[in-house]
Amino acid sequence: MYIKDIFFSYQGEGPWVGYPQIFLRLYGCNIHCAYCDEPDFAHQRETVTPEQVMARLSPLLEKKPHSISVTGGEPLLQVDALKELIPLFPIPAYLETNGTLPRHLESVVDLFTYFSVDYKPGFDREFMEFMSILANRPNVYVKWVLTPDFPIMDLKKLVKTVEAVAKNLPFVIQPVTPFGTIKRGASVAEIDRAFQFAKQCLPDVRVIPQTHKYMGVK
Q: Which residues bind ligand SF4 (CB under 6 A)?
A: 29, 31-33, 36, 38, 72-74, 98
For the bound state, the minimum distance from the C-beta of residue 85 to ligand SF4, rounded and expressed in Å, comes to: 19
User: Whose Cβ is closer to ligand SF4: residue 13's or residue 38's?
Assistant: 38
Nearer to ligand SF4, 22 or 76 (CB): 76
Beta strands in the chain (DSSP E): 2-10, 20-26, 46-47, 67-71, 93-97, 114-118, 140-146, 171-175, 205-207
Minimum distance of ligand SF4 from residue 115's CB (angstroms): 15
Contact (Cβ atoms closer than 8 angstroms) between residue 95 and residue 114 = yes
Minimum CB distance to ligand SF4 smaller for 31 or for 217: 31
Burial-class residue 173 by CB neighbours within 10 Å (0-12, 13-18, 19+): buried
Q: How far is the CB of 31 from ligand SF4 (least distance, A)?
A: 5
Distance CA 90, CA 66 (A): 11
Nearer to ligand SF4, 15 or 72 (CB): 72
Q: How far is the CB of 64 from ligand SF4 (least distance, A)?
A: 28
